[in-house]
Amino acid sequence: MKLALVGATGLVGREMLEVLTERQIKVDEFIPVASARSIGKKINYMGKAYTVVSMDEAINAKPDYALFSAGGSTSTEYAPRFAAVGTCVIDNSSAWRMDPDKKLVVPEVNGHILNGQEDIIANPNCSTIQLVVALKPLHEAYGIKRLVISTYQSFTGTGAKAVEQYEGERDGKATHSYESAYDHPIFENCLPHCDVFLDNDYTKEEMKLVHETRKIMNAPDIAITATAVRVPVHGGHSESVNIEFEKSFDIDTLKAILHNAPGIIVQDNVKDSIYPMPKFARKKDEVFVGRIRRDESIENGLNLWIVADNLRKGAATNAVQILEHLIH
Ligand code: A2P
């Protein structure tokens, strides 16, 4: 198997390398790709050093699979060129997610739609992935009518530049010594602004939660509203999720459903202050769910707190799980 990793030097790319290694994904040829400034650098994979090459060189090598995490415009331009030489691209950017001809996949939720014939498969947005892993079993049991989502998203989701800004501010460095990823300070701050603003005054990140959730769950009629907030937190994204179900539920049965669902760890014992926290989600591949309680203000309402490592299940792990689904 020939595997290309596009964006191998980036935050998600490096996490993908780790996940591939942990899961012992064996390759005959490994092809790390990055921008022109990184060509020639060495990347280690399973004890062997590989040289970072250009996009064109990687396309010429005709890899069987390419994991892409190098930004939307790079994916828009290059994913079809890889597909044209027979490569199956698993793309972490937002470029292909809402294309009606491309599958948007979270293996625990809709892995069954993959048939091995795909040219480009889209990996969903980080905050959507952890959300749908928790929601899918509940939707099957009770039918979700409406969702109100508030996110608390790690700055690591913005990439290496945001980490530099956070560390620069934390360490009191001169502002000209690092590049800023955000319009405002992120250290000791919260930014109700993830990705760009759209014409409806929501951010693109908020609308990704709306559209991607409906597509992955094959549930176009769920009413969804979201507020996405960037927080100075390492380790993962957190989400406060309010759900209105079609059907009534028994809270103990609902907790048991979550407990038995794939990819979820329930951490919910408030007497002992046990609930999910991003600090302890780092490097974990599961989605953590807690603060499971009835919303007493409406009929059939529920509140959840959902946490996952945005670089792992929110990006690298999910992409590698898609790859595993295809090669096994
Ligand atoms: P490089 O490190 O050479 O800039 P992050 O999201 O952490 O900023 O990482 C982005 C990743 O995408 C990096 O590996 C970066 O490489 C890579 N990248 C950015 N632009 C391109 C491009 N035009 N072609 C290939 N790789 C790119």
Ligand 1 contacts (CB < 6 A) are: 7-11, 13, 33-35, 37-38, 55, 70-71, 74, 159-160
Same-domain pairing of 138 and 117: no
Residue 287's pLDDT is what? Answer: 98
Please state, as a whole number, how many other Cβ atoms lie within 10 Å of the Cβ of residue 26: 11
pLDDT at 145: 98
**Are residues 140 and 72 part of one domain?**
no
Nearest alpha carbon, ligand 1 atom 9: 10
Q: How confident is the model at residue 41 (pLDDT cuts 50, 70, 90)?
A: very high
Number of domain units in the chain: 2
pLDDT digits (tens, 9 = 90+) for 222-267: 999 999 999 999 999 999 999 999 999 999 999 999 999 999 999 9
Q: pLDDT tens digits, residue range 290-316?
A: 999 999 999 999 999 999 999 999 999
Query: Could you give the CA distance from residue 82 to residue 62 in angstroms, rounded to a whole number?
Result: 7
Q: What's the gap in Å between 76 CA and the centre of ligand 1? A: 14
* Residue nearest atom 23 of ligand 1, based on CA coordinates: 35
Q: Is 122 helix (H, G, I), strand (E, B) or coil?
A: strand
CATH number at residue 246: 3.30.360.10
Residue 72 and residue 113 share a domain: yes
226 shares a domain with 157: yes
Q: Are residues 197 and 240 in the same domain?
A: yes
In the numeric block, the tokens 């994991």 are attached to 67
pTM of the model: 0.97
Kindly list the catalytic residues: 126, 237
pLDDT at 245: 99
Mean confidence (pLDDT) of the chain: 97
Question: What is the tens place of the pLDDT at every residue in 139-178?
Answer: 999 999 999 999 999 999 999 999 999 999 999 999 888 9
Same domain membership, residue 261 and residue 138: yes
| pLDDT score of 3 | 98
Residue 49: burial class (beta carbons within 10 Å; 0-12, 13-18, 19+) = exposed
Task: Give which of 10, 15, 5 is closest to 284, Cα–Cα.
Answer: 15
Confidence (pLDDT) at 11: 93
Which CATH number does the domain housing residue 63 bear?
3.40.50.720
Whether 148 and 281 share a structural domain: yes
Pocket test for ligand 1, best of 12, 15, 35, 59 (most atoms within 8 A of CB): 35
Domain containing 42 equals: 2-123+315-327
270 and 246 together in one domain: yes
DSSP 70: S
